[in-house]
Structure formats: C-alpha cells, structure tokens
A and B are shown apart, each in its own frame.
Chain A
Amino acid sequence: MEQILFYCFAGVLIFAATMVITVRNPVRAALFLVLAFFTSAGIWLLLEAEFLALTLVLVYVGAVMVLFLFVVMMLDINLSSLQEGFTRYLPLGILVAALITIEMLAVLGASHFGLDIVPSPVPQPDDYSNTKAIGLLLYTTYVYPFEIASVILTVAIVAAITLTLRDNKSRKSQVVSEQIKVRAEDRVRVVKMDSVKPINDQESAS
C-alpha cells in the first residue's frame, strides 16, 4: 500500500515538475508548481515528517505560490520570446538529460541503496512528536545554522528593496502637511488692472 502511494506521488511529482518548465503559460507553470509541492508534501508524510509536510503546504502553497501567481499575472510577459531557442537546444538537452538519468540510475539503484544496505528506519511510537523533536534540535544543536538562515532572509529583504525601491522624482504623491499649510494668498494672486487701457500707452509701445 505504502509503495503504491509512493509511486503515485513520485509519478505525479515528476510529471508536474516537467510541466513547470515546459508549459507556455506562466500561470499554468505556477499552478503545476503548486501540484509539485502538494505531491512532495505527500511523500514527506509517507516519511513520517508530518510537521514539515504541513509547513510545506501552508507556507509554500498557501503563501509563496499565491504571491507568485499575483506577480506573474501583474507582469506582462512576452510568451513568444520565452520560447525562442527552445527547439534549437532540445535535442542536445534531451541527450544530456538522458545520459545523466542513466548514470544516476546506475548509481542510485537498488544495488547501492537497497534495503539490505540502508535498512528502513524503525517506526516511532504513537506518542512521538515530530514538531517537538524539530523544535529541540533547531534551538539547541542547530542554533548557529538557524541564525544564519535568518540572516539570509534579512539580506533577501534588503536586496529586494535595494533593487526595486528608487526615489522617483516623477512620482505624484500627496504631501498632506504642505497641503494643510497652504494659505489662500499663496495660491491666488489678485491683480488690479484697469478695465480699459489708455490709448496713449498703446501708441507709445508700438
């Protein structure tokens, strides 16, 4: 049963991952990525990593991918230019991919990673808490890598803001304080003029 489930999930995952990079429409690609995340979450559940599987669905599917979809929809991506060179490099790409797959199958098959070499882990008791174990490790043994990961996230924000924010002079935003401070005499100038100009001036001017 577990094996059938695994192969189902793995098959769908590979299909979805392939579709992500081959479909023309970026929105569809993003949706296939969602499918890929869901199926890998399923595989993680089979590995008894329940907390991580749920986090993957919540964080990646729930937050990151939705945001990503918004961005993709807002950007006007030229689809035809994305496809350029795809067919040109396709034969070479397939050849390289096939070679690497065969090599990986030779090394990563049952002869090197079979159950007799890598025994399956002993199932944990029912009251075992994955979340607790991760929490304990994260804040004790792996506190240093954990902190570095948080620094990386900070840098990501700094980098994103640096690359997107610029003090645009042409931006038309309201400055409320200046608007309030405005007085009528600053804006409207009452000019006193004669309703009829004297004829003498006109002649002397011409």
Chain B
Amino acid sequence: MMFEVVNMSFALPEMFLLGMACTILLVVAFFKKTGASLAYGLSQITMVASVVLVYRDMGGLEGLAFSDTYIRDALSNVLKIAIFLINIAVLMYSTSYLKARELFKGEYYVLAVFATLGMSVMVSAHHFLTLYLGLELMSLCLYAMVAMHRDSKVATEAAMKYFILGALASGMLLYGMSIIYGITGSLSISAVAAAIQTGSLDNTVLSFGLVFLVIGVGFKLGAVPFHMWLPDVYQGAPTAMTLFIATTPKLAAFAMMIRLLVEGLGDVQQYWQDMLIMLSVLSVILGNVVAIAQTNMKRMLAYSTISHVGFILLGIISGTEAGYAGSLFYALTYAVMTLAAFGMIILMSRRGFEAEEISDYKGLSQHHPWFALMMLIVMFSMAGIPPLVGFYAKLAVIKSIVDIELISVAILVVVMSVIGAFYYLRVIKVMYFDQADDAYEIDAPTDMRIMVSANAVAILGLGIFPGTLMALCASVFS
C-alpha cells in the first residue's frame, strides 16, 4: 500500500496545543500548591504562542494534509487566531472568578486547553470523522467544566442537561453523516461535494441525511427549536464556565456549519436554505421576545445568544460569498460582545454575590461611571446601534438576504431587533436612572479591569473602523 508521508508542519498549532496540554497536565499533577497558578500562566503562554504559530504561516502554507483529513485555509487561520485571542481574555476573566470562589484548580486550565485543541481541530477539519472527533473533544471538556462546581445543585443540573442534549445532538449529527456516507461513499468533504456535483445521487436520501446534519448543527449553535438547553445551562453554570461555552465554541460551531453545509453540501443549497430560514426566523423571534421577560442577566444573555444565532444563520441562507463573509463577521463580533458582557458580570461579582440579576446593576453609574459606560457600549452594540460593531454585523447579514430578495424575512428580522433593543436598553436604564440600594465594591484585580475596558473599547473601535475586519472576512470567502 502506498502512503504519502504527511507534512506535519501544517498541523503545527494543533500539535503544539496538544503538547502544552499534556505538559500542563503533568505540572498540575506534580505541583500541588502552585499547580493552578502555573497552569494558568502556561495556558496563557500556550494561547499566545498558538496565535504566533498560526499567524507566522498565514497566507503561505495552505492546503490539505494527513490524507485529506486536515485543511489549512484562510477560514481556518482567521477563526483559529480569533479563538486563541478570545480565549486569552476568557482565561483571564475566569481566573478572577475562580480565585474568589475556591474553584481555582489546575484541572480547569487542562480542560480549557484541550477544549481549545478540539475547536482548532473542528475549524480545520476536512473530513466528517475529524469534524466529529473535534466536536466531541471540545464538548467533553465543556461538560466537565460545567460540572466542576460540584457543590452547586444548579451547576450539576445544568451539566446534566448539557451532557444529555449534547450527546443526543452528536448522535443526530453522526446519523446524518452515516447516511451521507452511505450515499456518496466517502467521508471526505471535498469527495462528498464532488459526488453531489455529479448529480446522479438519490435526492430523497441526500435530503434525509441533510436534515440530521442541520439538526446537529442547530443543536450545537442553539437555534430554535433546538435551543432548550441554552438558557438553563447559561444560568446554571458558574459564570466563568458560561463565559467559556458562550464565546469560542460558537465560532467552532460556525466553522462546522460552513464545512458541512457550504463546502460539503453546497450544491444542494436549495434543500438546506428553507430549513435554515425556519431556524433563523424562529430563533430571532423567540430569542428577542422571551428575553424581554427575563430578570436574570445570564438568562437574558442566553436568549440574546439565540437571537444572535438567528442572525448568523441569515448570512449562510443567502448562499453568497458576501453573505458567508457577513456571517463570519457576525460570529466574530458576537464572540467579542458576549465576552465583554460576561466579563462585566464577573467584574461586578464577588464571593457570595454573583451580580446575576439585572436589578444588581441599579445605579451603577453613580458609583462606577467608567464601568457603567463600558456596559453601555456592550449593550448598545448588542442592540445594533451605530457606531458600534454590532450594527455593522447586523447590516452585513441583512444586506446579504436583501440581495437575494428575501425582503419579508429581512423586514421581520429588523422589526424583531427593534423589539430586542428594549431589553438591552432596560439594562442601561437600570444602570443610569435607578437609585442604587447600597454602595458597590468592585474588588476585581487590575488586569481584569484593564482587559474588560480594552474589550469594550475594542467594540467601539471595531465599530468606528469596521473596514479591516470586514475586508479580512470578505477575503476568506473570495
């Protein structure tokens, strides 16, 4: 049997991540007292170095490796850098949270680095098998992270729900993949695309498998009607874990959707387009309307995530390069905005006070005007108010569906985002116009304060100068 010797340098970031994850595991095992701090430092170094490793070969080293199971292209490079960069902030925020609550353990960082490896594998998968294994690697780490706070009943319940529904979704995805394999005879994404292009396949079976793929992706993204787990998990999990599962895994799920639906089954776009329109419209409606009734900040952000997922799907629906670029732009800005929102919750909280309720933010502007301003930027951006980056993201995806003349969907989505503005503005109203019950003490460490401020300022900066990121997203798909 002939076998081509693999070009290892393609997967250098993944190999580095794996090596570092194992190193951190050993460090945690051997240094009992200082293990957690060492693990934190090492995982931050890992993230920074991984960014460098991806950035170094950007543009130059592209193509398939490992018998076509691995791909390195512009999409994977951009998403990997985004994932690693966002994880730096995620780890910093969550460390501040964990330290205050005796949850500061080295295992968290081991799982975080392994989860990052899983995302990285997903992002550059060119084979159903790799995609699935990457997804499982990531999910397994996330389940364990949510369950880590074992004394908390709600966290355990959230972990249980997340695990069972996640396993169900993986099963659906796997079944869809097996049907597609049965009809195309291959698991490689380009081979599947080539088989579909011949047009000799049985379309009934193909769309049957496709339904299961869409369900699996919908579950992982949290689109309606596969959103049930999302509010409970977001609310029940400790905020540090919610922060982790709300940001970068969504980018990985976005990559999964692009790889499966656009690259693999792009030629049967008319089949998945209708399904995605349903998912997207329902997500935007339900997410925005139900969020109005929430009094818990984390739960409200969960419903806001559902509506953001609806927007991300819009760009995919359009089926154009501009639409995909808009979706990518939306997914990236969603991750940055959610990062800042949960970062603010962690910043406000301290031991014994979670700052979860919206009423906890009463009169924040009187005591901490700077952080109230930061929160204002985040909320305005999520509502999609110019000149913040959330506006350009919404504009890009809505423009893409107007271009394919789905005017009714576009109008509905705009109306819904106006309704959605209500609950974002309510947070701002509570912060600026309500009287504080008692004086706040924010005892977050300095690095955390600086990072949250930088994060919110980045939202403002990207909003004023969206061109660079926009052009980067556009270059990925052209």
Contacts and interface: CB of A to CB of B under 8 A. Distances in A.
Contacts of A149: 133
B18 A151 contact: yes
Contacts, number: 82
B70 A144 contact: yes
A148 B133 contact: yes
Q: Please report whether the interface of chain A is mostly helix, strand, loop or mixed according to DSSP.
A: helix
Nearest to B142: A159
Q: Please report whether the interface of chain B is mostly helix, strand, loop or mixed according to DSSP.
A: helix
A135 B66 CA distance: 16
Interface string A147-180: 0110110111011011100100000000000000
A79 B208 CA distance: 38
Interface string B13-28: 0000010001001000
Interface in B56-108: 66-67, 69-70, 105, 107
Interface residues of B, number: 37
Identify which of A151, A154, A163 gathers the most chain B CB atoms within 10 Å of its CB. Answer: A151
Nearest to B131: A145
Nearest to A117: B202
Contact of A112 (B134, B148, B202): B202
B428 interface: no
Interface residues of A, number: 26
Interface of B: 1, 3, 6, 11, 18, 22, 25, 66-67, 69-70, 105, 107, 110-111, 114, 117, 121, 127, 129-130, 133-134, 136-137, 140-141, 143-144, 147-148, 150, 182, 202, 204-205, 208
A163 B148 contact: yes
Given A148-B121, A158-B107, A158-B114, A140 B144 contact: no
B205 A145 contact: no
Contacts of B129: 142, 145
Contact of B67 (A107, A112, A142, A163): A142
B69 A142 contact: yes
A5 B141 CA distance: 42
A143 interface: yes
B26 to A, nearest CB: 12
B67 A141 contact: yes
A140 B67 contact: yes
